[in-house]
């Protein structure tokens, strides 16, 4: 079975994002970029399924700027077999990304598509579900445990207040949550090998997808600075202060 794994190049999770002075977006100049953490988990899970003999080939896919090659090389160093980069220097909205992945899936015919549940830059949590809808395939979202049983995949998923277990007929789409696994570090020999693994460069036009934005960002602002707390001597003073603030 072939596995298609979707990865995205985002600001490293250790970096504090800065808003541009003109409020048009987030400043990406000279900022460390890395693979979306949820997508790292997706790559790791695909590798583990390959080590179990369930998956025979892992294809990493990314939609983004030319520099996203570095992100795909990381996936290849972790254990993916080959990669496809759909180059777009402009921001691509989730629906357009899903349409591109759907087109790639039509060509590659994967038995399993794995992606992170969301990207930490936009927190949209949309692509996996949209891909499932476009392909008409079952989906297991927010997975924290995955196992393949014959022609089905069993996904234990995190929901409000507990866990839910679903059994999906393959081919299917799975989106990963944080507790699914701990991604491995790529070893130096594997990093060197990744440089020679195939990485195809495509454009949205190659798949007949219009990436023109449907949404317009009006303004981006920093969150308000949290005001300092105050101390009160006793409960009566606390109640009086809350009334004064209109809380009580």
By the 8 A CB rule, do 42 and 74 touch?
Answer: no
Residue 121 has pLDDT above 80, yes or no: yes
Mean pLDDT of the chain: 92
Q: pLDDT tens digit string along 184-234?
A: 998 999 999 999 999 999 999 999 999 999 988 888 888 888 888 888 899
Residue 90, Cβ neighbours under 10 Å: how many? 11
Domain ranges, ordered by start, for the chain:
2-245
pTM: 0.86
Class of domain 2-245 as given by CATH: alpha beta
Average pLDDT of span 7-29: 89
As given in the structure block, the two tokens for residue 102 are: 């759907």
For residue 248, the model assigns a pLDDT of 60
């Amino acid at each position: 079975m072939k596995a298609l794994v979707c990865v995205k190049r985002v600001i490293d999770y250790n970096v504090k994002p800065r808003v541009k002075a003109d409020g048009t977006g987030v400043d990406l100049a000279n900022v460390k970029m890395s693979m979306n953490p949820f997508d790292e988990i997706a790559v790791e899970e695909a590798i583990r399924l390959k080590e179990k003999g369930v998956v025979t080939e892992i294809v990493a896919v990314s939609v983004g700027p030319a520099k996203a090659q570095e992100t795909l090389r990381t996936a290849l160093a972790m254990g993916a077999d080959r990669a496809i980069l759909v180059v777009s220097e402009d921001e691509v909205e989730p629906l357009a990304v899903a349409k591109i992945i759907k087109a790639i899936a039509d060509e590659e015919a994967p038995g399993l598509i794995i992606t992170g549940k969301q990207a930490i830059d936009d927190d949209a949590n949309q692509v996996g579900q949209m891909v499932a809808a476009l392909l008409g395939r079952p989906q297991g979202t927010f997975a924290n445990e995955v196992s393949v049983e014959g022609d089905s995949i069993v996904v234990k998923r995190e929901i409000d207040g507990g866990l839910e277990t679903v059994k999906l007929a393959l081919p299917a789409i799975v989106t990963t949550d944080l507790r699914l696994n701990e991604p491995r570090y790529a070893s130096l020999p594997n990093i060197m090998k990744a440089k020679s693994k195939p990485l195809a460069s495509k454009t949205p036009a190659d798949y007949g997808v219009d990436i023109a934005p449907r949404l317009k960002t009006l303004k981006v602002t920093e969150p308000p600075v949290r005001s300092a707390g105050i101390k009160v001597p006793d409960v009566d003073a606390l109640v009086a202060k809350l009334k004064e603030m209109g809380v009580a």
